[in-house]
Structures are given as C-alpha cells and as structure tokens.
Amino acid sequence: MATIRKQKVKKYTYWQIVESKRVNGKPRPVVLMHLGTAEQLMYRLKEGPLKKTVSSRSHGAVFLFWQIIQELDLVNIFNSHFSPQVRDDLTVGDSLLLAAIHRAIHPGSKRTFASWARSTTLPELAGFDADKIDSQHFWDQMDTVTDAQLENVETAITEKMIEKSLFSTKLLFYDLTNFFTCIDTANSRAKLAQRGRNKQKRNDLRQFGLTQVVTKEFLIPVFSEIYEGNRADRELFVPTLTKLRTKLSELHLDVEEITVVFDKGSNAKDNFAELDDSEIPYVASLTPSYHEDLLEIPRSEYRMVDVNRQGILCYRTHKAVWGKERTIVIYLSDKLREGQLRGLKQALTKKLEQLKELKTKLNAPKARKRSKENLEQQIKSIIQGEKCQLLIKVSIEEKEDGHFDIEWEIDSGVYEWLTENYYGKRLLVTCRDEWPEEEIIAAYYGQNNVERTFKHMKNPYHNAVHPQYYWTDHKIKVHTFICLIGLLLSQILWKKAREAGYSMSLENLIDKLEEVRQAEIITVNSLKSKPVREIQLEEMDPKLQELYNVLVK
C-alpha cells in the first residue's frame, strides 16, 4: 500500500509517494512519485498558482517615523555630531534614533527592544539585525555621548526644522515638570536625582526635572534642559531664559519678534525684572489670591471678545506688579470654574469625612490623651488645600482629663465669595500693550498645550520617559534626550495628520498606524520554477488605508 512521507534535504523539506516492496528479500520503501515541496503539492491539488502568507509584521507606524527621520536628515545630523563608534553594525547615532522610535511607539526597557523590533519592519527599514541588539548595546553606545554633543544636535535639529518651515517662533511656551526615579537614596553618583515635590505624587522617591520650551504650532520642542529634582521652578526661569536667548541668537532669530508664555509657577520679582531688562515680550498668568482687588471688579464692567470663534468675557486694566505698571487682562472661563467647583466638592467631601473620623476617635471610650497643640496641627493638616482652610471653621472643646471634642461648619460667606468672585477667573499680565484682549487671551490659551507634551511623556503607552533604569546623571540625560527625539517625531507626524484633516489624538494616531501590517507572500507559479517572494500590505479598513496613504505622501 502506498503512503506519503517527507524527506529532509539540507534546509528544504520534500514529499514523496512511497510503497513498501521486497528488494533482495528485504522490505524497502520504493519511491513511486516525487511530489516536491508542500507548496508544489498544493499547486497540483489546486491546479493553479498557490499563495501562502509566510509572515506579517506591524509596518505603518515604524515606516512613517523612519520617513520623518529621512525628511529631517537626522541620520546624517546624528552621525556627524556623535561618536563614529560602530557596534553590531550600528553607529551611535543609529542606535539613539532606533531607541527614540521605540520610546515613541512602544516604550519599554532596552532589553525589550529586540523582541519589539522583530514584530515590526523596522530592521529592514533601518538595515540592522534585531537579534544582535541587547541592553548592553545601548549602554555602550550611550556611554560615548557628551553634553556638548547633545546641545549641538539639538541646535542642528532646530536649524533643520526652521529650514523645512516646520514651525514659527512667534509664540514660545515655557513650562517645567519632573519624573520620579528608582534610584537608591544611598546612590551618590546621581546628583540630578533629588527629593522634592513630585507632580505625580511620588514624594517618596528621588526625581529629576525637565524644563522645556515649545512652539504654539504643534508643540514642536525648541529648547530643553534637565535639572536637579530639589530645585524650585521659580529659580530656574532666569537661567533658562538666558540660555534660550543665546540659542535664539545663534539661530539668527529676532528675540523681539518672540513672545514667551509661562504659568504662575514661575512668577517672581527677579524673573520679571530679567524680562524687563532683556526686553523679551511675555504673556503670563498671575495668582488670583494676591490680587483680590481685581477679583472684586463686577462682571457688568467686562466686555465680550471673540477668541478662536468663542465668546469670552474679559476686563482690561493696568496695575503695578513687581514694581512696574503692567497690562492686566482678566477673563472668565466656564470650563475652569466647573473644574474648580468639582475639585472643591470632592475636597470638602473627603475632608469632612476625615473630620468625622477624628471626632469619633476623640470621643471613643478609650481615647488617648493628647495636647491641644497636637490636635490643632492635625486639624490644620486635614483641612489644608483647595481653599478648604478658608471654608471650614473648626472649634475645639476641651473636656476633662486631657480629652477634646471638635465641631465644624462651612462659612457660607467665604463659599459665596469663592464661587462667585474667585472661581472661573484667569488673570493675565503682559508687556504687549499694543495687542488687543483677544490676542493676549489666545496667546495664553496655548499654555495648556505645553502641559500636554509632559502628559505625552508620562503616558505609559507612547513617548513615556518611564520605565528608565539608569543610576547616573549621564545616562539620565541621554535617556531623556532619546525620549524627546521620540516626542519630536511624534509631534511632526501628528502635525501632518492634523494638516490632512484628521483630528484624532497623537496616541490614537500611533495606535491606528500600528495596525497597518506588511505581509510576506510566497507564490508557486509552476512545478519547476522557484517560489516567488512578494511583500505587500495586508488588507485593512478603507479609512485606515486612506490615512496611511495621505501620510506616506
């Protein structure tokens, strides 16, 4: 009886029809027919060409990121400024760019890079063997990078973007944030990582800070710097401004044509004095609680202006701020007021619950004795924040034998003043006296956008600075630079999508493009010819196909 068996010849597998027969009295398999490879056998059965998908990998996102790298000539820029050291057939510049794409699309530790790269077409696009790239590869390449090289590359990239007309420097937004680390307290090598007020509420960990200046148009980074995590935001303003002026001068940009926009976190007398001396135009916000006279101005004196096709009530005046008469614009924001009211409600609910718990403990049969000073400090800690210390009036009743009880009430007068006069008002200060109110407000509107760049860098799915497992200042700087390059590529990609009429978020855009996959197809056209290898995109949703086609152009 005939059977089918497979025969391995070197790395190829063939199939044969065999039958057992006696040869010289011994049973031997005799080949009745050679069927060829599995593909050729299928060809016989189907009586025509056979197509077989051999592999499929994510292509859209890595291809478009690599396309932007080519458009900005980043490979040449990186290779001309960084060390020419070659490891695993990659220069230092090549390795940093590949790491930047990884951070932008699928953040992970350097040891996960190879497995992620193999799931994409990036190795073919950039010409490297993913199996050779491990965490030690990146560590060795990063060790060659110097601070001067990072500064020079940042300047060269900015020049290239100016050449490509990718952004306008009319409005520049300045802001700061910080990132917690896992660096041990006893580690003395990391001077940047210090304990401070962490914006992600991880005050238990050491952190480093990042100051950044970006453009209004699509938040393109212009300037960035790492600083010690225990430094206050206000003290960094002047040094950053000085370095920014130097950089803009080197780029032959007119400082007087630029307006710096910043939030109240950088408000200080010395900072405004530096702005005045440098004659750098600015738009900034003021802390409302320091200007109650402005908050008392009745709404009847406000006027309606059109800002980005939206009606905004505002009031314009002049006031001495930090020793100089300055233009002040107050405007009302319903969105801001709603958020403040929501935050107040949540805070009051939480703090009143804490006061109830404290009262229960004070009146427990076995309540411990305590000092009045200690109790006052505990109450102060509970009601602090969200203006609750102004609203909640707590009275302490002293009982016998060192025991106490507490009562509280909400001050209705303060509540009314907060909700009617304080909440929903934004106070802006500027030296742009020639600008109308709508232009001043529109300029500040972009400040919220710069905070979005930091949200991108704290998004665990795209562009994240975390995870970062580095224990020295040098590695922290290079790692953050890689993340900023990834963010730059992302913002330019998002800019292209927005200009093409797509309004989706950056994160959603990258997710969609990851769905564009490239397949390897093997076609057998005849029994004698070799199989034909073909590369093509997998079928996809027509809308996704349209998005991809628009961005590839």
Are 270 and 195 in a shared domain?
A: yes
Distances (CA, A) of 102 to 76, 92, 122, 234: 20, 16, 10, 34
Of 374, 396, 422, the domain-final residue: 422
Please report whether residue 285 resides in a domain: yes
| Residue partners of 303: CB distance under 8 A and separation at least 6 | 313, 314, 315
Distance CA 125, CA 310 (A): 46
Contact 531, 41 (CB under 8 A): no
Are 214 and 159 in a shared domain?
A: yes
pLDDT given at position 131: 92
Please report whether residue 1 resides in a domain: no
Are 112 and 198 in a shared domain?
A: no
| Residue partners of 483: CB distance under 8 A and separation at least 6 | 100, 103, 457, 463, 464, 465
Chain-centre distance for alpha carbon 86 = 30
The structure tokens listed for 480 are 């953050």
Angle subtended by helix axes 437-445 and 447-457, to nearest 10: 0
Please report whether residue 20 resides in a domain: no
Residue showing tokens 């080197």: 250
Are 172 and 275 in a shared domain?
A: yes
Please report whether residue 509 resides in a domain: no
Question: Which domain range does residue 328 map to?
Answer: 148-333+424-497
**Number of C-beta neighbours around residue 174 at 10 A:** 24
Pairing state of beta strands 282-286 and 259-262? parallel
Q: Dihedral through CA 169, CA 151, CA 468, CA 196, nearest 10?
A: -80
Are 317 and 393 in a shared domain?
A: no
| Residue partners of 545: CB distance under 8 A and separation at least 6 | none
DSSP secondary-structure letter at 548? H
CA 521-525-527 angle, to 5 degrees, is 120
pLDDT given at position 244: 80
Are 343 and 356 in a shared domain?
A: yes
Contact 303, 311 (CB under 8 A): no
Of 145, 172, 207, the domain-final residue: 145
Which DSSP string corresponds to 206-267? -EEEEEEEEETTTT-EEEEEEEETTS-HHHHHHHHHHHHHHHHHHTT--GGG-EEEE-GGG-
Are 280 and 161 in a shared domain?
A: yes
Distance CA 282, CA 270 (A): 15
Distance CA 114, CA 129 (A): 9
Chain-centre distance for alpha carbon 339 = 23
The structure tokens listed for 447 are 């400040």
Q: How far apart are the first and last CA of the chain?
A: 61
pLDDT given at position 48: 58
pLDDT given at position 467: 67
Are 405 and 456 in a shared domain?
A: no
Q: Is the dihedral of CA 96, 61, 71, 212 positive or negative?
A: negative
Number of domains in the chain: 3
Are 417 and 340 in a shared domain?
A: yes
Are 248 and 374 in a shared domain?
A: no
Distance CA 299, CA 186 (A): 56
Q: What is the pLDDT of residues 163-196, one digit of tens each?
A: 888 766 677 888 888 888 888 888 887 888 888 8
| Residue partners of 46: CB distance under 8 A and separation at least 6 | none
Which DSSP string corresponds to 369-432? P--HHHHHHHHHHHH-STTHHHHEEEEEEE-GGG-EEEEEEE-HHHHHHIIIIITTEEEEEES-
Are 229 and 153 in a shared domain?
A: yes
Chain-centre distance for alpha carbon 263 = 19
Please report whether residue 306 resides in a domain: yes
**Number of C-beta neighbours around residue 289 at 10 A:** 10
pLDDT given at position 513: 96
Please report whether residue 314 resides in a domain: yes
Please report whether residue 50 resides in a domain: no
Distances (CA, A) of 423 to 295, 336, 337, 338, 428: 9, 7, 5, 8, 15
pLDDT given at position 149: 95
Please report whether residue 10 resides in a domain: no
pLDDT given at position 305: 93
Of 86, 115, 145, the domain-final residue: 145
Are 268 and 414 in a shared domain?
A: no
The structure tokens listed for 272 are 């405004």
- Domain with residue 461: its CATH number is 3.90.350.10
Q: Is the dihedral of CA 494, 497, 499, 501 positive or negative?
A: negative
Give the length of the chain. 553
In single-letter form, the type of residue at position 386 comes to E
Q: HEC profile for 470-525?
A: CCCHHHHHHHHHHHHHHHHHHHHHHHHHHHCCCCCCHHHHHHHHHCCEEEEEEEEC
- Identify how many contiguous H helices and E strands the chain contains and give both numbers: 20, 19
Maximal C-alpha separation, the chain: 117
Contact 183, 206 (CB under 8 A): yes
Distance CA 148, CA 475 (A): 14
**Number of C-beta neighbours around residue 132 at 10 A:** 13
- Residue ranges for the chain with pLDDT beneath 70: 1, 32-33, 39-53, 167-169, 217-219, 255-256, 448-451, 467, 524-531
